[in-house]
Amino acid sequence: LAKTTQPISMDSYEGQEVNITCSHNNIATNDYITWYQQFPSQGPRFIIQGYKTKVTNEVASLFIPADRKSSTLSLPRVSLSDTAVYYCLVGDPNQGGKLIFGQGTELSVKP
């Protein structure tokens, strides 16, 4: 399973756009990129998933360059409630769904 590297922590202010970049140099052809959010003492929650180019949903956008060796999660206009740990994961959903979590990025949003 491809290993991912993310910044350990990031700080932001309410209303700003936050971009968290993840490196996954060894991503395989069948791997998808998925981002999860986790609040303290809760299970991770799915944010967005993509394979290439750009994916957007109601909460975030995911940018994936052509070589797929990295990806960037973009959170528009963050609020205090977006303070959480964000995990980038890479894996092949057709291979049973096993997910290996990296260290994650602890995002702190300040007023």
Which residues of the chain form contacts with another protein (CB under 8 A)? 32, 34, 36, 41-46, 49, 87, 93-94, 96-104
CB-based contacts of 31, cutoff 8 Å, min separation 6: 2, 24, 90, 91, 92
Nearest approach in angstroms of CB 14 to another protein is 24
Q: How far apart are CA 22 and CA 50, in angstroms?
A: 13
Min dist CB 43 to another protein, Å, is 3
CB nearer to another protein: give 97 or 111: 97
- Residue nearer to another protein on the CB measure, 36 or 60: 36
Three-class SS of residue 92?
coil
